[in-house]
Amino acid sequence: MKHGLLTITESDLLAAEEWLGNQVDVVTTTYSQNLFHDGIDGITWDEANRLDVMERLFGNSSRQLAIAYEFGGPNRNEYGRAASGEFDADYRNFAQQLVDRGMGDSIIRMSHEFNLSWNSKYPSDPQNYADGFARCVDVMQSVSGANFDFCFSPARNRLGVAPDAWPVDSAQWPSGEPAPIITPSLYDSEGGTYPDDISGLSDSELEQLWQDAWVVILDKIQMWENFGAERGANRFGTAEWGVATNAYPNPSGGDNPYFVEKLLDYGISQGWELQAYWNTASASGGSHQIHPDSTALTDASNMYQSIVSQQLTNTSTDDTSSDTTDDTSTSTYGGYNTPQAGSNDWHIPLNENFESIEADIQDLADRINNLEQT
């Protein structure tokens, strides 16, 4: 399994690799909808000379960049236009620029977390999503030197429109192209398991909740693994996952090394393709960050370091560069999921929002259906 995490500056990446004792395999980042027509300029990287830096870090090394790419156009959800070919030139330009920078092996997370009805990326016509996804893959892979890998990246908590949006079933899926990697977002946040505030719990009570929450998340992981198996897609992983501090607005397990250990051990044992931890300092009032500032998630950080440092297979780096610039990561990550004015909550994991509400709605619908039948 490839191992990595999210980071958006050279100095942060090199510091994380020093922390882990090896070069990471993969680094996740986002793509700004405001720069859809600008190709590689839309990739979030927080440095003035970022294109040269990315070329050095990913074009001239074995590292891969995993990019959350909004193939649905500037508004993120124009999948009919994508399916009809209106964005072909943008896909081709993006792919060509990546290839020219030596990044033709990048991992493309296609319109991730699309399967939630409150998400702006939700496809009103899932067939258009499937056709647009397939067309984007076909166009990008047609560029000479391209060898991209693509991810089918739902939110974790329910299938939603995913079966109807599966791109391999599209007539536009390129012949011979392997099925995409299925990479749901996975967070230690279970409203049905954790209370809103865990600060008053004893250690034994918290540890029991950790175990209970893992049973729930494992069931969801296996739901998606079964989804892939039913479609002949045998590649799985996650490019966005993490624990969260108690300040996170959705109920979470806090500094939970158990979640980190169980997820990594499971992924390794199952032969997942990749894992990349969502290492953000600020998320909706809480934090997922395990490096460099892990003061609120120390045990989870130590667990990640212990397991991943042993798993990384690269024992040396091709990079001889050093960056002494004092880089400060932006909370808006290149304008992706830009918050409202005055807010630092740049990223609200859409797989977490409204999960408990959705369960209540489904329960009510089931009750009504049972009454109608009787």
Question: Mind listing the pLDDT tens digit for each residue in 274-296?
Answer: 999 999 976 567 899 999 999 99
Q: Report CA-CA distances (Å) from 260 to 184, 223, 275.
A: 16, 20, 11
Per-residue pLDDT for 370 more than 90? no
More confident residue, 329 or 63: 63
Torsion of CA 39, 30, 122, 132, to 10 degrees: 30
pLDDT for res 92? 98
pLDDT for res 3? 98
pLDDT for res 34? 86
Question: Mind listing the pLDDT tens digit for each residue in 80-95?
Answer: 999 999 999 999 999 9
Per-residue pLDDT for 253 more than 90? yes
Question: Mind listing the pLDDT tens digit for each residue in 155-180?
Answer: 988 899 999 999 999 999 999 999 99
Contact 103, 55 (CB under 8 A): yes
Nearest-Å Rg of the Cα atoms of the chain is 20
Question: Mind listing the pLDDT tens digit for each residue in 208-226?
Answer: 999 999 999 999 999 999 9
- Average pLDDT of the residues of the chain: 86
Binned at pLDDT 50, 70 and 90, residue 303 comes out as: very high
pLDDT for res 250? 87
Binned at pLDDT 50, 70 and 90, residue 372 comes out as: low
Percent of the chain with pLDDT over 70: 83
- Average pLDDT of 121-145? 97
3-state secondary structure labels for all residues of 158-218: CCCCHHHHCHHHCCCCCCCCCCCEECCCEECCCCCCCCCCCCCCCHHHHHHHHHHHHHHHH
Neighbouring residues of 363: CB distance < 8 A, sequence distance ≥ 6: none
pLDDT for res 285? 77
- Average pLDDT of 35-50? 93
Binned at pLDDT 50, 70 and 90, residue 313 comes out as: low
CA–CA gap between residue 79 and residue 67 (Å, rounded): 19
Question: Mind listing the pLDDT tens digit for each residue in 137-155?
Answer: 999 999 999 999 999 999 9
Question: Mind listing the pLDDT tens digit for each residue in 316-368?
Answer: 434 434 343 334 333 344 333 322 222 233 333 334 344 444 555 565 556 55
pLDDT for res 365? 59
- Average pLDDT of 28-40? 92
Strand order, beta sheet including 237-242: 181-182, 149-152, 107-110, 64-69, 26-30, 2-6, 274-277, 237-242, 186-187
